[in-house]
Amino acid sequence: MKLQKWHIPITIVLFISGVLLATALRALAANNATPWHQKNENLVAMIKTQEAEIKKLENSIESKRTSLDRFQRDVSLGKKELEKLQQQLQKLKTLSGMTEVEGPGLTITLDDNIKEYEAAQNKNPGLKPDDYLIHDKHILYIVNELRVGGAEAISVNDQRIVNSSDIRCVGPLILVNTTRLGPPYVIKAIGNPDDLARVLSLPESEYNILKMAGYPVKYEKSTRLVIPPFKGSYQFTYARPKEE
C-alpha cells in the first residue's frame, strides 16, 4: 500500500487527540483521588458559613441604612418645624411682654402735688391730701391714652403693662401687676413719639387734667427707650382654646 498524501495529517491529528484525551482522563482521575480533597472540606464548610453570615449581615445593614435615611430626613423636617415654631413663639413673647424691648417713644413722669398740698394745708390744717396725690385711676387712664396713641409697649415704674395687668390702689399704695409702686411714677411707652404726645395734649386727657391741676408732670420724647420684661406668668385655669 502506497503511503497516501492524506495519511500524514491524519496521523498528526490523531496523535494530538490521543494526548488530549489522556490529559482529560488524568485530570478527572486526579480530582477524585487527591489527598487534600478531604482536608479542604472543613475549610469549605467554614467558608460557606462565613459567606452565609456575611450575606445576613449585609441584608440587615442595608435595611438599617434605609430606615436611618428615612429617619434623618424626618428629623431634618422636624428641625425645620421646630425652628419655625421657636421663631413664632419668640415673636409672640415679644408681643406679650416676656422679653425686654426697645424702640422710640416717650417717658412721662408724674408726682404727687406736694407743694400745693403744703400751701393749702397752711391755710386749712385739716385738709386731706387725697386731691393732691397721684391715684391708680390717673395711671390707668394715662395708660389707656398711650394705647390710643398707638403705644406698642408700656411700663410703669419698670412694671411691664401686659394685657391682663391691673392698676389699682390699696389705701395709699398703687399696685401694678400686684407690685407696690411709689411716687414719682415713670411711665414709658414705645411707639411714635409724636402720636403719643398728641393724645397727651388733648384737653380731655388725664395727663392734661393733671397738668392743669398743677401736678408736677412732664413728658419727654426719645428715640430709644428700653422697657423691661413682664415678670409674671400666664396661667389659665378657666380659659381654654375654643373647640372647633
Of 122 and 237, CB closest to other proteins: 237
Cα torsion angle, 148, 168, 172, 231, sign: negative
How near is the Cβ of 108 to other proteins at its closest, in Å? Answer: 16
Say if CB 100 and CB 225 are below 8 A apart.
Answer: no
The SS3 call for residue 10 is: helix
How near is the Cβ of 9 to other proteins at its closest, in Å? Answer: 6
Q: Cell 406679650 belongs to which residue?
A: 96
Locate 221 and state its grid cell: 420724647
Q: Cell 409672640 belongs to which residue?
A: 92
Of 25 and 119, CB closest to other proteins: 25
**What is the 8-class DSSP label of residue 42?**
H
Burial label for 96, CB within 10 Å (0-12, 13-18, 19+), is: middle
The SS3 call for residue 170 is: strand
How near is the Cβ of 35 to other proteins at its closest, in Å? Answer: 11
Say if CB 110 and CB 213 are below 8 A apart.
Answer: no
**What is the phi-psi region of residue 54: left when phi exceeds 0, alpha when psi lies from -120 to 50, beta otherwise?**
alpha
How near is the Cβ of 55 to other proteins at its closest, in Å? Answer: 10
Of 118 and 178, CB closest to other proteins: 178
Of 57 and 173, CB closest to other proteins: 57
Locate 90 and state its grid cell: 419668640
How near is the Cβ of 15 to other proteins at its closest, in Å? Answer: 10
In sequence order, the β-bridge partners of residue 179 are: 176
Of 120 and 169, CB closest to other proteins: 169
Of 31 and 122, CB closest to other proteins: 31
How near is the Cβ of 61 to other proteins at its closest, in Å? Answer: 5
Locate 233 and state its grid cell: 406668668
